[in-house]
Homo-oligomer: A and B are copies of this chain.
Amino acid sequence: MVVDKLYNLRMRAAQGGSHEQGGTHISGGERITRFSNIQQVAMYLLEKGLTHCKGRPDFMQIQLESIPESVTYVQPLERWANVERFVKEGDTFLKEGKTVAFQLLEIIGIPKKVIDRAVEIVSQYSSMRGAVLIDAHSGKRLDDRGEKGVRVSRLDWLGNDFEKWARYYHVSANSRIREALALAAKVNNHPATIAELCWSDDPDYTTGYVASRKMGYQRIENIKTYGDERGCRIFFVDGQKDIRSYINYLENQPVLITWEG
């Protein structure tokens, strides 16, 4: 009997050489699949990287690896809100998205000076493909990955649970939301994560989010200027926890997001 294993597929694409050679990060993606679906998922990732709004890559790597069956099943973050509703009057934004994001982080309990320091740290890098880990108390960076950051991998939605979720919440079932929700669920499932702040590096996508176990997933429009190619993913972390095992969870623990409805 051939056991139908699970496979992780990850893609990264860059322009001006590979990431290692100092190329600009264009696109990344990670999916989990059974053997029978590898081709389809690989095609999705290939197309994602080749047709990205950040530009045409001249380097791409797609890696397949079988992964252990010891999967952690995680629910999407419980609350889902489109903060837009609270900050927009008609077509006018009453507050800038970043201001809203920072306020939400403060409500979660991240000191203002830690938020400022974190944003200062990520703004050093013109192009990152991973996240920066920040001590939620001291504002110090906890990983030593420099411009690379820590890329969360081995995560996906189970079956068509995302489509069911999206139908239930009347959210368009697009891959951006699919991927962001899965990432936020995996990251915030770990007790060391206190909160996550994200905005895309895609110049044409100006929506970001703040996520935490307490507050759920708070989608924030207008978080950056249209055309800006700098993105960010900051994980505010409890520095008391074992950081090596935390990074190992982020990179290696297979996580499938399930939603029953």
Contact = CB atoms under 8 A, between A and B. Distances in A.
Q: Within the oligomer, what is the number of copies of this chain?
A: 2
A188 B47 CA distance: 36
A103 to B, nearest CB: 42
Contacts of A7: 58
A126 interface: no
A142 to B, nearest CB: 27
Interface string A38-66: 11001100110010000011111111111
Contact of A56 (B35, B39, B50): B35
A39 B35 contact: no
Contact of A58 (B5, B18, B47, B61): B5
Given A61-B61, A62-B61, A42 B46 contact: yes
A138 B244 CA distance: 50
B18 A65 contact: yes
Interface residues of A, number: 23
Contacts of A43: 39, 43
A35 B49 CA distance: 12
Interface of A: 2, 5, 7, 18, 35, 38-39, 42-43, 46-47, 50, 56-66
24 contacts: A2-B56, A5-B58, A7-B58, A18-B65, A35-B50, A35-B56, A38-B50, A39-B43, A39-B47, A39-B50, A42-B42, A43-B43, A57-B64, A58-B65, A58-B66, A59-B63, A59-B65, A59-B66, A60-B63, A60-B64, A60-B65, A61-B62, A61-B64, A62-B62
